[in-house]
């Protein structure tokens, strides 16, 4: 029984490793009949299950053949990464970690800023500098203008 | 005994495989505006969960023939025609951002001599971010940084007149020049100029969005029909953008189609956008 249990665990681990991935596979490269662009049809497999057939488009202005190939691969890679991010558990994890990190960054600042509670100051005037003039406006509207020396 | 072991292995495969997530693009928490311009009276309704509805101003023409659905909105450079979306928390400082729209241009729209911007498709605040046309037959993505405006223009004339074309731009605005924005015309990424932004992006909290005109009012009026406008707070991939182009915001254009993952039963159900 122990042997069976170990075998089962191994199988689980192997399966997990094998399926924990997004795979893109180009199925067809065609011409878009309506627009004349290059149409790449790609099958996406997520964790062992076919989940999407995606389309991407390209034209000759993107670059030479190698540059187009490179962009196709980048686009498909980007989409696979997006599919992995969109797995609900992963999406939640990303959001939780972002929030956690943000809280860790601001929490000590919030603590340190507690000393500011109760502080107060008054402002009575402000100055606008404009084309050689100093324009001063005050809370009681006793405003003035002066030349900047 | 062997059968029991196989059964256990079968069960383990089911449970070990992580849950499958959303695959096709669908409106989600990142979707800030999804507007289809189908309404014949009242506001244009936002199909995202944010209720960022569009309020008509000036001489907007309703009921133009749209790309999908049946109707779309037309701007003809008269009477300060615009669709205003009032400020809301959901529209503050969107970054990263993807904007998509179907456009049928009659011309480049109203040119602004000072800025060389032509008709505005959509703008947030005073040039906080703008997706626009630029004379002649070009597209422009403009972002305002603390060091000034930065405009990424298509290197080539990519805009046509008289038929619907799909435009999209995706950009991490705070990243500035690297990575630079990616712009798509009819699903194909197009070459852009390479300006260098300086400083940080604006804080555009509490400001309105305008469709079809500059927020400064009365300038850069569009001369076009717009349909299926999307503002999304994420970088959509080339595959996502092609899917939105092909299937529409609600996915109905591809419902039941065999070319997509709708084969796994998403189909119409994917459309949480109405």
Each residue of A87-128: pLDDT tens digit?
A: 889 989 998 998 999 999 999 999 999 999 999 999 999 998
> A87, B8: Cβ pair inside 8 Å?
no
Question: Is B129:B93 a contact under the CB 8 Å cutoff?
Answer: no
**Topology of the domain comprising B29-250:** Jelly Rolls (2.60.120)
pTM for the full predicted model: 0.80
Chain B environment of A79 (Cβ under 8 Å):
237-240
Chain B environment of A87 (Cβ under 8 Å):
18-21
Integer Cα distance of B72 and B211 in angstroms: 13
Looking at residue B21, its pLDDT comes to 43
Average pLDDT, rounded, for chain A: 88
Question: Is B211:B101 a contact under the CB 8 Å cutoff?
Answer: no
> A83, B21: Cβ pair inside 8 Å?
yes
Looking at residue B256, its pLDDT comes to 62
C-alpha neighbours within 13 Å on the C-beta side of residue A53: 18
Closest Cβ–Cβ partner in A46, A56, A61 for B238 = A56
ipTM of this predicted complex? 0.79
CA-nearest residue of chain A to B260? A53
Q: Which residue has the higher pLDDT, B265 or A31?
A: A31
The shortest C-alpha distance from B232 to chain A (Å) reads: 14
pLDDT tens for A4-18 read 555 544 444 444 444
Looking at residue B85, its pLDDT comes to 98
Question: Is A32:A55 a contact under the CB 8 Å cutoff?
Answer: no
Looking at residue A15, its pLDDT comes to 46
Looking at residue B28, its pLDDT comes to 80
Integer Cα distance of A142 and A122 in angstroms: 17
pLDDT tens for B215-248 read 887 789 999 999 999 999 999 999 999 999 999 9
Regions in chain B scoring below 50 on pLDDT? 9-23, 258-274
């Amino acid at each position: 029984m122990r042997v069976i249990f170990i075998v089962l665990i191994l199988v689980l681990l192997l399966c997990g490793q094998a399926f924990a991935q997004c795979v893109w596979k180009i199925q067809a490269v065609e011409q878009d009949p309506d627009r004349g662009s290059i149409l790449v049809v790609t099958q996406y497999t997520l964790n062992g299950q076919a989940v999407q057939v995606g389309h991407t488009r390209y034209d000759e202005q993107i670059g030479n053949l190698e540059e187009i190939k490179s962009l196709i691969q980048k686009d498909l890679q980007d989409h696979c990464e997006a599919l992995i991010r969109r797995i609900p558990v992963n999406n939640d994890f990303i959001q939780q970690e972002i929030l956690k990190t943000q809280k860790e960054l601001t929490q000590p600042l919030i603590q340190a800023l507690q000393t500011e509670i109760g502080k107060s100051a008054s402002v009575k005037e402000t100055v606008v500098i404009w084309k050689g003039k100093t324009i001063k406006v005050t809370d009681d509207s006793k405003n003035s203008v002066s030349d900047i020396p | 005994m062997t059968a029991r072991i196989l059964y256990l292995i079968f069960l383990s495969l089911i449970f070990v495989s992580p849950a499958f997530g959303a695959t096709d693009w669908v409106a989600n928490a990142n979707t800030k505006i999804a507007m289809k311009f189908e309404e014949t009276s009242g506001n244009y309704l936002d199909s995202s969960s944010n209720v960022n509805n569009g309020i008509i101003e000036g001489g907007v023409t309703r009921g133009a023939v749209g790309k999908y659905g049946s109707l779309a909105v037309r701007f003809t450079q008269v009477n300060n025609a615009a669709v205003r979306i009032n400020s809301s928390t959901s529209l503050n400082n969107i970054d990263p951002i993807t904007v998509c729209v179907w456009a049928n241009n009659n011309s480049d729209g109203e040119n602004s001599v000072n800025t060389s911007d032509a008709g505005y498709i959509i703008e947030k605040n005073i040039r906080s971010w703008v997706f626009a046309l630029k004379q002649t037959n070009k597209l422009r993505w403009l972002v305002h940084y603390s060091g000034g405006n930065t405009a990424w223009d298509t290197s080539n004339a990519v805009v046509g007149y008289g038929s619907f074309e799909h435009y999209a731009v995706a950009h991490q605005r705070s990243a500035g020049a690297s990575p630079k924005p990616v712009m798509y015309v009819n699903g194909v990424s197009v070459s852009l100029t390479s300006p260098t932004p300086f400083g940080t992006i604006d804080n555009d909290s509490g400001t309105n969005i305008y469709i079809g005109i500059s927020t400064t009012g009365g300038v850069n009026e569009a001369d076009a029909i717009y349909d299926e406008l999307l503002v999304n707070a994420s970088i959509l991939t080339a595959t996502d953008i092609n899917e939105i182009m092909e299937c529409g915001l609600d996915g109905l254009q591809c419902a039941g189609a065999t070319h997509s993952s709708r084969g796994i039963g998403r189909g119409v159900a994917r459309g949480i956008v109405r």
